Amino acid sequence: MLDLNTTYTEKFVASGELAAYAEAHAHVLARCQAGEERYADSQGWLEVDEWAGPAVLDRTERLAAELRAIADTFVIIGVGGSNNSARAVIKALRPNGARIVYAGNTLSAHELNGVLAELEGHDVVIDCIAKNFETLEPGSSFRLLRQYLVGRYGKEEAARRIVCTGTIGSSLEELCRAEGYTFVPFATNVGGRYTALTEVHLLPLAVAGADIRALAAGAKRMQEQLRKTDGLENSAWRYACLRNILWDRGYRVELLGFFEPRFRWFSKWWEQLYAESEGKDGKGIFPAALECSEEMHSLGQYAQDGTHQLFETFIDLMEPGAGDSLVLGGTDVADAFGYLDGKDFWDINKASFNATRAAHAEVLPVLTLEIDRIDEERFGMLFYWFAFACYASGSLLGVNPFDQPGVETYKRLMFEALGK
Ligand code: PA5
């Protein structure tokens, strides 16, 4: 189950106004549901089966099993859209497969020394994931780790332990052919941040032991709902409409709040998706994570009492799963927390969430994305839901949700400084 509860926004956006806005823009939803010729090179993700169908899942599981047979540690060398989705699921669910180490997302010598230290005493495979193979972080980490593997295993054995996921015809593919590395093709018609349901992430997830079939099934279920449901019954469309009404009213920041820290890395995925998709042409809501309850002691002050430019979307995990119950016993010590005797942390956390939402809803629009459980299937649903909503929301805003021209300027200056 995944649904959007908008009860707490009605004070700010009347239901009649929302309905009129949705109706007036119904053609945008229809376009997003069908896909558009002008974005044909970026919309392979709309149809889950195109890059996560049965043949892909079989092939991915086979390769993952081969890699797990020779390694207990798998290094994801990727940044942004090339590591965020896999990391979101792996960090949240901690599946029982190979240990995953993250590289290719930093230029810090300290961090990279830490990565090398984490590999000692383990059997290692690396996967360099790079759509363009021009990005500095994965390119430099790949060289570092390639050299590490060759030094440790010799050239021939190192080659067995190197996988690259890259664009067909790219210099990365050429390098793989020349050196004998395994090459996995990057989905041709999907941009980096929309690749959650492609081999880019399915392979690391399968190596980590996650159930990629459940992930694909969840996404497909969401696809069927969102591409067929019209009007405000379509929850992703409702989210897209509300975001744009709020944008028109001067709301400039959206906080994605969650009381389960397991969503921490998912929120990073969400930040990238919305920042790169909408932040352009002088427009776009700034997306920022609100990890609760910790940040109620920092950002919470601003949300409650600061400038009225922000709104919140909370992810509410509705049902406790395994490990989600912990009762706090009573004590003879007068510690001033006697009111907690015998209470379950699940309920304490819920009380904190309900209080936060009630308090914030007094002063700012609050949306709640309700989800019954946290597992691979739900992550598939979440990835599809937010991606579809982002496409719709960016379209309503009048920007191209699939490009990211703004990141080129710093790259040009950086490459000049490095003598590229
Ligand atoms: O959405 C995008 O395309 C980007 O954010 C990329 O995912 C990110 O820059 C990484 O690109 P690459 O895989 O080419 O290194």
pLDDT digits (tens, 9 = 90+) for 373-382: 999 999 999 9
HSE at residue 159, side-chain half, CA atoms within 13 A, is: 9
Instruction: Tell whether domain 2-34+216-405 is in CATH 3.40.718.10.
Output: no
Q: What pLDDT does residue 50 have?
A: 97
Q: From the DSSP assignment, how many helices (H) and strands (E) are in the chain?
A: 17, 10
pLDDT tens readout for residues 213-223? 999 999 999 99
Q: What pLDDT does residue 7 have?
A: 96
Distance CA 64, CA 67 (A): 5
Whether 139 is in the pocket of ligand 1, judged by its Cβ within 6 Å, is: no
Q: Which amino acid is at 217?
A: A
Whether 132 is in the pocket of ligand 1, judged by its Cβ within 6 Å, is: yes
CA 110 to centroid of chain Cα atoms: 26
Q: DSSP letter at 329? A: P
Cis bond leading into 298, ω under 30°? no
Distance 276 CA to ligand 1 centre (A): 10
Whether 81 is in the pocket of ligand 1, judged by its Cβ within 6 Å, is: yes
Distance 193 CA to ligand 1 centre (A): 7
Distance CA 260, CA 373 (A): 11
Nearest CA owner, ligand 1 atom 4: 192
Compute the average pLDDT of residues 193-217. 98
Nearest CA owner, ligand 1 atom 15: 130
Distance 272 CA to ligand 1 centre (A): 10
The dihedral over CA atoms of 244, 247, 251, 256, expressed in degrees to the nearest 10, equals 40
Find tokens 């790079």 and name the residue: 130
Atom of ligand 1 nearest to the CA of 139: 15
pLDDT tens readout for residues 50-73? 999 999 999 999 999 999 999 999
Q: Where are the chain's structural domains?
A: 2-34+216-405, 44-210
Q: What is the rounded radius of gyration, in angstroms, for the C-alpha atoms of the chain?
A: 23
For 3, the 3-state DSSP assignment is strand
pLDDT band at 149 (very low <50, low <70, confident <90, very high): very high
Atom of ligand 1 nearest to the CA of 132: 14
Compute the average pLDDT of residues 296-319. 96
CATH of 44-210, one of 3.40.50.10490, 3.40.50.10140, 3.40.50.2300, 3.40.50.880: 3.40.50.10490
Distance CA 123, CA 71 (A): 4
Q: DSSP letter at 399? A: S
Rounded alpha-carbon distances, angstroms, from residue 75 to 177, 191, 262, 296? 21, 22, 21, 34
Nearest CA owner, ligand 1 atom 2: 192
Whether 140 is in the pocket of ligand 1, judged by its Cβ within 6 Å, is: no
Nearest CA owner, ligand 1 atom 3: 192
Q: What pLDDT does residue 156 have?
A: 97
Nearest CA owner, ligand 1 atom 8: 80
2-34+216-405 shares its CATH topology with 44-210: yes
Q: What pLDDT does residue 30 have?
A: 98
Tell me the catalytic residues.
276, 297, 411
Q: What pLDDT does residue 137 have?
A: 97
Compute the average pLDDT of residues 86-98. 98
Question: DSSP string spanning 162-198?
Answer: EEEEE-TTSHHHHHHHHHT-EEEEPPTTB-GGG-TTS
Burial class of residue 405 in the structure, from the number of CB atoms within 10 Å of its CB (0-12 exposed, 13-18 middle, 19+ buried) = exposed
Whether 79 is in the pocket of ligand 1, judged by its Cβ within 6 Å, is: yes
Q: What pLDDT does residue 64 have?
A: 98
Under 8 Å between Cβ of 200 and 82: yes
pLDDT band at 355 (very low <50, low <70, confident <90, very high): very high
Helix %, strand %, coil % for the chain, to 5?
60, 15, 30
pLDDT tens readout for residues 158-175? 999 999 999 999 999 999
User: Which residue from 39, 82, 137 has its CB within 8 A of the most atoms of ligand 1, so it is best to mutate?
Assistant: 82
Distance 264 CA to ligand 1 centre (A): 20
Closest alpha carbon to 80 in 240, 291, 275: 275
Is the whole-model pTM more than 0.85? yes
Whether 82 is in the pocket of ligand 1, judged by its Cβ within 6 Å, is: yes
pLDDT band at 362 (very low <50, low <70, confident <90, very high): very high
Q: What pLDDT does residue 44 have?
A: 97
Distance 406 CA to ligand 1 centre (A): 13
Atom of ligand 1 nearest to the CA of 130: 13
Whether 105 is in the pocket of ligand 1, judged by its Cβ within 6 Å, is: no
Axis crossing angle, helix 376-397 with helix 26-34, rounded to the nearest 10 = 130
Whether 193 is in the pocket of ligand 1, judged by its Cβ within 6 Å, is: yes
